Amino acid sequence: MPIGTFLGIAFDGLYFAALLFFASIGLTLVFGILNLLNMAHAAFYGFGAYLAVWTLNNIGDVTTSTVVLLAILVLAIPIVVFVLSAALDKSVFAPLYDIEPVYQLLATFGVILMLDDIIKFIWGASPISVDAATDPSRQLGSIELLGSSVSAYRSFVILIAVLCAVGLYLMFVKTKLGKISQAMSEDYEMVQMLGINVNRVRVLIFSISVALAALGGALFVPFAVAAPSVTLDYVLLSFAVIVIGGLGSLKGVVVAALLIGMVRSLGIAFFPAIELAIVFALMAVVIIFRPEGFFGHRGVVE
């Protein structure tokens, strides 16, 4: 096999991993810190995807500047979703924090169904895609990397994922919010008793988590269509990532996203028939033999 092909596969794997990271990181944080298993998390990935296509296609008349387009994807959409999810946390999700995990799964399954139709109501049932004129991935073209030609846009997505992972790590280690969150993941009641406003921390963590999922969805669409199936696919993929990595672990998500990204990339290249089957088999094997995942039960950043 030529080395170029191998690099291409590895690069695609990294790109998949970046998207999986965005789709899953918030899911694991909300579970680890706030004890909420939010099945509807991936719906925000889907929402981000739709919002991105719509925004890019409507901004075309005003500007087609690459910088503006990228800023929309990386900044505008996450910020909008951040505000929106703060409102959702106070309303829809607020009553879910105190119920049993099994009921959380069921209630948030209901939320998926609702969000699914809200998306259909706004953007219709048929898949939509980014116009060529405002597609930043076309504008950026390709770059040379280690002697092979790769998509500059995909490299950008990978870079953003790395920055987000590092940023989150620093947030948990350095900032007050991060330290309180870590303490909450270990002993929620204790933090509450210390007189810290846990509700405010909760809203922040939830909104950051959801905004990251929307960011992933937004970055995803220049290379794919926004369709209702996006949400349903990523519900399962993101569960696979956080289970394999260990529920509640930041490092676990990074490692598991890389693993699944590579497995999918290799699978598509060599075993296209069973590429997804490998992911679910891996997920099952991890739960059976190591239910705590690679890095579970060790806090958010350990």
Partner 1 sequence: MSTRFPTFQNVEIRESLLNWRLLAAVGLFVVLALYPAVTGNAYHTRLLAWMMCFAIAALGFNIVLGYTGLLSFGHAAFFGTGMYTVVIVMNATGITDLLVLVVLAMIAAGVVGAIIGALSVKTHEIYFALLTLALAQLLYVLAVRDVGGLTRGTDGIGVSRPDFFGVPVSELSATVYLVGFYYYVILTFLAATIVALWFVLRSPFGLTLKMIRENETRAEMTGVPVLRYRLYSMILSATVVGLGGALYAIVVGHITPEYLDWTMSGEIVFMALLGGIGTFLGPVIGAGGFILLQELALAYTEYWHFTMGLVLFVIVLTLREKGVWGGVKTLATRVADRRDDQ
Q: How far is the CB of 50 from partner 1 (least distance, A)?
A: 15
Instruction: Tokens for 84, please give them.
Output: 């929106």
CB of 73 to partner 1, least distance (A): 28
Nearest to 42 by CA among 233, 298, 244: 233
3-state secondary structure 37-106: CCCCHHHHHHHHHHHHHHHHHHHCCCCCCHHHHHHHHHHHHHHHHHHHHHHHHHHHHHHHCCCCHHHHHH
**Which spans of this chain sit near partner 1 (rule: CB under 8 A)?**
37, 92, 95-96, 99, 101-103, 105-107, 109-118, 120-121, 125, 232, 235-236, 239-240, 243, 273-274, 276-277, 280-281, 283-284, 287-288, 291
Question: How many CB atoms are located within 10 Å of the residue 63 CB?
Answer: 12
What's the first-to-final CA gap in the chain, in angstroms? 39
* Main-chain phi, psi angles of 62, to 5 degrees: -85, -50
Work out how close the CB of 36 gets to partner 1 at its nearest, in angstroms, rounded to a whole number.
11
Q: How far is the CB of 182 from partner 1 (least distance, A)?
A: 22
CB of 113 to partner 1, least distance (A): 3
Residue 131 or 275 with smaller CB distance to partner 1: 275
Nearer residue to partner 1 within complex by CB, 68 or 92: 92
Using the minimum distance from each CB to partner 1, give the nearer residue, 147 or 289.
289
Token pair 């680890």 is found at 32
Nearer to partner 1, 116 or 131 (CB): 116
Sign of CA dihedral 173, 178, 184, 190: positive
Which residue's CB is nearer to partner 1, number 112 or number 208? 112
Question: Please, which residue, 125 or 193, has the CB nearer to partner 1?
Answer: 125
What are residue 145's DSSP bridge partners? 148
Q: How far apart are CA 64 and CA 76, in angstroms?
A: 16
Minimum CB separation of residue 102 from partner 1 in Å reads: 5
